[in-house]
Amino acid sequence: MGGERISDSASDALKQRRGRIVRRYFLIFVTLVGGSLLVSLLLEMGFRVWETRWNLDVVHRQMAELAALRIHNYVENVAQAVRLAAQPRHVVEGRVSDEYISDLRDLLKNVPAIRDVVAIGLDGREMLRVSRIGASALDAGADHAPEAYFATARAGKTYFGPVMFPADSFEPRIMIAVPIEPFRGEIIGVLTATVNVRYVWDVVQEIRVGESGYAYVVSATGALVAHPDLFLVLQRKDFSDLPQVSALRDPGEETAGIGAYQNVYGKWVLASHAAIPDVGWTVVVERPLTEAYGPLIASLARTGGILLVACLTAVGAAVLLGRRVLHPIEELRRGAARLEAGDLETKLTVETGDEFEELADDFNRMAARLKDSYADLEKKVEIRTRELAEKSRQLELESRHKSQFLANMSHELRTPLNAIIGYTELIADGLYGPPSDQMRSVLERIDINGRHLLGLINDVLDLSKIEAGQFTLSLSDYSLHDVVKSVFTGVEALAAEKGLAFKTYVPADLPRGRGDERRIAQVLLNLTGNAIKFTDAGEVTIKASAHNGAFTIAVRDTGPGIDAADQARIFAEFHQVDASSTREKGGSGLGLSIAKRIVELHGGRIWVESRRGAGSTFSFTLPIAIEQQA
Amino acid sequence: MTSTKKRILVVEDQEDNRRILRDLLTNAGYQVFEAENGGEALVAATTHRPDLILMDIQLPVVDGYEATRRLKADPAVREIPVIVITSYALSGDEGKARAAGCDDYVTKPYSPRQVLAKVRSYLS
């Protein structure tokens, strides 16, 4: 059904549009809610990352500095002890006496990290030596004068030597050298102490940076001094190739060596550092990135999760809200489509409790109203239709009655007329005794008038049949030749009476036609009769021909002719050129209109060519053979 | 002489027309029987065995078509020629008359001379 197809395509369109609305709501919500959430959270996260990094850097640097401070304190304490020991009370002739050795022994006793001490004279020769391990024999041949530590201490400063890894021990050492200064400004020698920096390890071991962070100490050259992983130290590892360590050699860059680096194990760590004064060492603090940023990442993940949930909620809300808004719209649209398709029973159920429900109620009221007025209209139409049908039936009946009445009437008229004409003929033929000449001429007038009256009755009857649509053709084969001949015979006498030349031209080889022979003869008789009637002198000719599957029959006269204005009207009913001619020439004035109908029922055409004073030619065409009336 | 006269049955309900045909045909030397409706015509045709029947169409009780049809269905009388007098008034009469089985027809109103000529052509 057409209606279903329409609603199908309507629902298709609806689906498409529905997609559009949902998408629009979706986009709006995602853009507004999701977008603002995303932006604010991203900003927040960015700030937090920046803040965390800054905090971590600060904390790590502080830890490194604390470690550096502790190591420095330790070294400084050792150095201080050495310095104290370098203020001898036993000075003889500008030299330390042998009693000074007890001071040195006290030093070894008090400071376990010191491995051995050597007192050197200004000449660079060893004067006293005390070792914690092994013999405290002087290296008599050694000349310390050219050494850097000698020069530094001799100049009144404390010397901290580079880290040494002696062959006889795994433990690294440094040398501290101070001037032997019994009185301020009076330097009498140099005291060197070899310090085992193994104690730095303990300090380093204790440093904990977060969960698994650690600190280690490298020398100025990058050599590893202390590391929680002792194995590395014992291996005498050189860290100078580590980027965070090598970066320390570039003092111009303050932040060099601070940040994310790979540690010695290849693991990513957050590195920071602090310099240890005097010894030229550096404490490096490293903490695995995953741990350092762990809380941040967890927090970011949490925030991201919240964002995701918020976005999903927003999307869900958008879709739900879209649906909620869309559902009543769809319902309304479906209703409108159903209404359009003619389903007036349409009732919408929208229970949103808002304007949509009001709209749906309005819609329902409208549909109900429409239905009522439709029903009303249908009832009215039905009543009108019935009335019209009744009227039409009555009219048809009336028409049939009229035609029947006319047919009956004409039969009734004809029956007495038949008797009149019959009796007249019998009297004229002398059946009831020989009539006188005068009687005979009167009988002839009776006959002529009777036949005229008969013609009029026939015309009226024909016309009433035409009007009632009951005029039908009786089709049969005919010879046009015979038709012309019968007409000629019928009116020959009339023409002769008026002294008119009357000729017919009919080719001998005309084909046989098919049509209503009697009606065709009636047409030709009418035209010929008129021609003779209206022509006072000259001639009347009938000319027949056949071409292109049609007969053409023309009746030409030399009568008064017909004005152009009248030519169009003469085929109309009840029309003669002027009213007076009806009285003069007789006829009902129906002949030509009946002739026209007969010709048209055959599928032909009738027309006149004429000029006032130059005669008229009435012509008509007939398809040679017709199988049914037009 | 009487026995040699040809016999014609005129079936016509209207008195004047019946008289015209009777006068015409009697004067022309035929013996005329008359019937006023189709029923009478059937009876007269069987009893009188005419040589020709002139049958009007518009008849009371049994009309001319029906009467012609019955005559032509009866083997005893079907050889009798039937000339039907049709009316110009009603279209299709000729066709109906031929369908009923008539041998010829004349159209009313007729000229007595034409009727006589047609009758003679059947009875000569």
- Please name the member of A429, A458, A470 whose beta carbon is closest to the beta carbon of B88: A458
Q: Could you tell me how many CB contacts below 8 A there are between chain A and chain B?
A: 63
Best-predicted range by mean pLDDT (A516-520, A604-608, B91-95): A604-608
Q: pLDDT tens, A485-528?
A: 989 988 888 899 899 999 999 998 889 999 988 889 989 999 99
Is the bond preceding B109 in cis, omega lying within 30 degrees of 0? yes
pLDDT value of position A575: 53
CA distance A556 to A540: 6
- Of residues A43, A592, A569, the one with CA closest to residue A300: A43
> Which phi and psi angles does A108 have, rounded to 5°?
-60, -40
Contacts of B108 in chain A (CB under 8 A): 414, 418
Percent of chain A clearing pLDDT 90 (strictly above): 14
Amino acid at A628: Q
CB contact under 8 A, B20 and A419: yes
Task: Count CB atoms within 10 A of the CB of residue A459.
Answer: 18
Contacts of B16 in chain A (CB under 8 A): 415-416, 419, 422-423
Q: Does ipTM exceed 0.85?
A: yes
- Cβ contacts of residue A495 below 8 Å, gap of 6+? A501, A502, A532, A540
pLDDT band with cut points at 50, 70 and 90 for residue B91: low
Across residues A463-484, what is the average pLDDT? 82
Is the CB of residue B14 less than 8 Å away from at least one CB of chain A? yes
Bridge partners (DSSP) of residue A195 are A114, A174
pLDDT of B69 above 80:
yes
Chain A residue with the nearest C-alpha to that of B92: A474
Across residues A590-613, what is the average pLDDT? 89
Quote the minimal CA–CA distance from B21 to chain A in Å. 9
Q: pLDDT tens, A104-117?
A: 888 888 888 888 88
Across residues A303-320, what is the average pLDDT? 80
pLDDT of A577 above 60:
no
Structure tokens, A520: 């065709």
pLDDT of A584 above 50:
no
pTM confidence score: 0.44
Percent of chain A clearing pLDDT 70 (strictly above): 91
pLDDT value of position A19: 59
- Cβ contacts of residue A40 below 8 Å, gap of 6+? none
pLDDT value of position A587: 60
- Cβ contacts of residue A390 below 8 Å, gap of 6+? none
- Please name the member of A431, A454, A471 whose beta carbon is closest to the beta carbon of B109: A454
CB A326 within 8 Å of CB A22: yes
Complete edge-to-edge strand list for the sheet that includes strand A259-262: A224-226, A214-218, A281-288, A268-276, A259-262
> Which phi and psi angles does A551 have, rounded to 5°?
-85, 145
CB contact under 8 A, A421 and B111: yes
Across residues B98-114, what is the average pLDDT? 85
What are the DSSP calls for A418-469, one per residue? Answer: HHHHHHHHHHHTTTTSPPPHHHHHHHHHHHHHHHHHHHHHHHHHHHHHHHHT
CA distances from A395 to A65, A311, A400, A462 (A): 125, 80, 8, 20
pLDDT band with cut points at 50, 70 and 90 for residue A84: confident
pLDDT value of position A292: 81
CB contact under 8 A, A414 and B24: no
Structure tokens, A93: 């002739």
Across residues B40-49, what is the average pLDDT? 91
Angle at A167 between CA A163 and CA A173, to 5 degrees: 25
For chain A, the average pLDDT equals 82
pLDDT of A460 above 90:
no
Amino acid at A109: K
Q: In the structure, how many helices (H) and strands (E) does chain A have?
A: 16, 19
Residue ranges of chain A whose CB lies within 8 Å of a chain B CB: 407, 410-411, 414-419, 421-423, 425-426, 429, 431-432, 454, 458, 461, 465, 470-472, 474
Quote the minimal CA–CA distance from B76 to chain A in Å. 32
Across residues A22-39, what is the average pLDDT? 75
Q: Which helix (H) or strand (E) holds A245?
A: helix A243-246
CB contact under 8 A, A472 and B89: no
pLDDT band with cut points at 50, 70 and 90 for residue B24: very high
pLDDT value of position A4: 44
pLDDT band with cut points at 50, 70 and 90 for residue A586: low
Angle at A582 between CA A581 and CA A585, to 5 degrees: 70
pLDDT band with cut points at 50, 70 and 90 for residue A12: low
CB contact under 8 A, B87 and A422: no
CB contact under 8 A, A414 and B17: no
- Of residues A209, A199, A251, A255, the one with CA closest to residue A70: A199
What are the DSSP calls for A155-196, one per residue? Answer: TT--EEPPPB--TT-SS-EEEEEEEE-SBTTB--EEEEEEEE
